[in-house]
Amino acid sequence: MIRIFITLFLAWQASSPEVMQHLQAGADAEKNRQYTVAISEFRKAAELDPQSAENFVRLGQAYLENRDYGGAIPPLKQALKLSPEMLPAHQLLGYALLAQGYAAQAIPHLEKARDEAALGIAQLEVGQLSDAVKNLQSALAKNPHEPDLIYYFGRASGLLSKESIDNLLATYPDSARAHQAMAENYYVLRQMPQAESEFNEAIRLRPDIPKLHLELGLVYAGSAQWPKAEEAFRAETKLQPGSAEAAYRLGNALLQQGKVKEARAELIRSDGLQPEMPETLYSLGKAASQEGDSAAAEKAWKKVVELENGTPLAAQAHFALAGLYRKQSKPEQAEHEMEEFKKLQNNGVANEEAPPAQ
């Protein structure tokens, strides 16, 4: 269960001095993390004033703090009997039930309390995946640096995705989308022959599905089968002439085969479709350099350096610029770029994976 601290600002109703004494002693014990003492004090207060929902909530909270979730449930239920709309009681009872494994029972209480994080977790536990994803995403937007939330969101999304795919495979096993899903699974597992076969089957059934050819191209690129990669990326660019990624991938496949002129044209097209993409610009610089157009190469790589800051791609651009300036007999500029590259290299950046050129 996620660790969320709530502060209850319960207005202590007019109580007898004896009750007040126990409540105060319980609060002091809580501060000192003497939860068993706090439980004892809050219990006495609840016994002396059994009509006070707040006293039962305090007792339930003390149990929760003592990680005795089972013990927290009866006083919190009692609190809700006395005051059915009391939101802190719903929230705490939701936590207690969720922690005890009663996720389904926790859900209405957490809904009432509008606690998206805990509700999302409870929904994840009972398999209400799309609701879980929605609530966890919303909670994560408000608290983006909470690792527990990130974990549960990732898990819920993954399971939802798997559930959808399983559904697809069970219901429409011979559909293009089913083959695509299988192919993508194989791709992730690096089982490339199987991925290739499934992508090809998907394409045979529905050659018009966007990104299918692109994904097949990536399979070929991953194993350096550049002519086949080129063919697949070319098919994608025909299908989606407005796709900057398809043009970029095709440009790179051409570049790998030394078809520099064609590669450059395709990379320029990609840059036009989606300007200022650092990966495209970096490759464009390579193509320009190979064509002997040093000015264009310099411009593209300088832009990469400007767009990227301390990333592996920036390191690559510095390195490329150093080479370019060396060729141009500009030793000072070459040295400067090499120094920038070395700085990133020493920081361990230069050999990190940059976005793939293949």
Partner 1 sequence: MPKTLIAALVLAALAPLTFEVKPRQGVDFVLENSPTSQKYLIETMPGGVALLDYNNDGLLDIFLVNGGKVSDPMQTPESFDRSNPKYWNRLYRQNKDGTFTDVTKQAGLANAGDGNYGMGVAVGDYDNDGYPDVFVTNYGKNTLYHNNGNGTFTDVTEKAGVASGGWSVSAGFFDYDNDGKLDLFVTRYMEWDTKHSKTCGGEWRTYCPPEEFPATTSILYHNRGDGTFEDVSRRSGIPSKKGRALGVAFADYDDDGFTDIFVANDGMQQFLFHNNGNGTFTERGLEAGAALSEDGRRLSGMGTVFQDYDNDGRPDIIVTELPREIYGVYHNEGKGMFSYQSLQAGLGELSSGSSGWGVGLEDFDNDGWKDLFIAQGHVLDNVEQIDPSLKYKELPLLAMNHNARFERVDSGANAPWAGRGAAFGDLNNDGWQDVIMTILGGPPQIFMNRGGKQHWLVISLRGTRSNRDGFGARVRVNGQTRFATSAGSYLSASDKRLHFGLGSNATATVEVAWPSGSRQTLNGVHADQFLDVVEPEKP
The residue ranges that bind partner 1 (CB under 8 A) are 190-193, 222-227, 255-258, 260, 286, 290, 315-316, 318-320, 323, 326-327, 329, 338, 341, 345, 350-351, 354, 357-358
Whole-number Cα distances in Å, 256 to 224, 230, 249, 259: 9, 10, 11, 8
Shortest gap between Cβ of 319 and partner 1 (angstroms)?
3
Q: Which two tokens stand for residue 20?
A: 């007040």
Q: Which of 278, 348, 356 is nearest to 317 (CA)?
A: 278
CB of 185 or CB of 225, closer to partner 1: 225
CB of 185 or CB of 358, closer to partner 1: 358
DSSP 3-state of 190:
coil
Q: Which of 39, 57, 143 is nearest to 94 (CA)?
A: 57
CB of 1 or CB of 192, closer to partner 1: 192
Whole-number Cα distances in Å, 73 to 26, 77, 95, 103, 342: 19, 6, 9, 13, 61
Q: Which of 281, 227, 126, 270 is nearest to 118 (CA)?
A: 126
CB of 105 or CB of 191, closer to partner 1: 191
Shortest gap between Cβ of 188 and partner 1 (angstroms)?
13
Shortest gap between Cβ of 300 and partner 1 (angstroms)?
14
CB of 83 or CB of 257, closer to partner 1: 257
CB of 122 or CB of 354, closer to partner 1: 354
- Apex CA 239: angle with CA 235 and CA 243, to 5°? 100
CB of 7 or CB of 329, closer to partner 1: 329
Shortest gap between Cβ of 316 and partner 1 (angstroms)?
5
CB of 132 or CB of 287, closer to partner 1: 287
Shortest gap between Cβ of 302 and partner 1 (angstroms)?
16
Shortest gap between Cβ of 315 and partner 1 (angstroms)?
6
Q: Which two tokens stand for residue 249?
A: 């991938």
Q: Is 354 left (phi over 0), alpha (psi -120 to 50) or beta?
A: beta
Shortest gap between Cβ of 209 and partner 1 (angstroms)?
24
Listed in sequence order, the DSSP H helices in the chain are: 17-31, 35-48, 53-65, 69-82, 87-99, 103-113, 116-126, 129-142, 147-171, 176-188, 192-205, 212-222, 226-239, 244-256, 260-273, 278-290, 294-307, 312-327, 331-346
Q: Which two tokens stand for residue 232?
A: 């697949």
Shortest gap between Cβ of 101 and partner 1 (angstroms)?
33
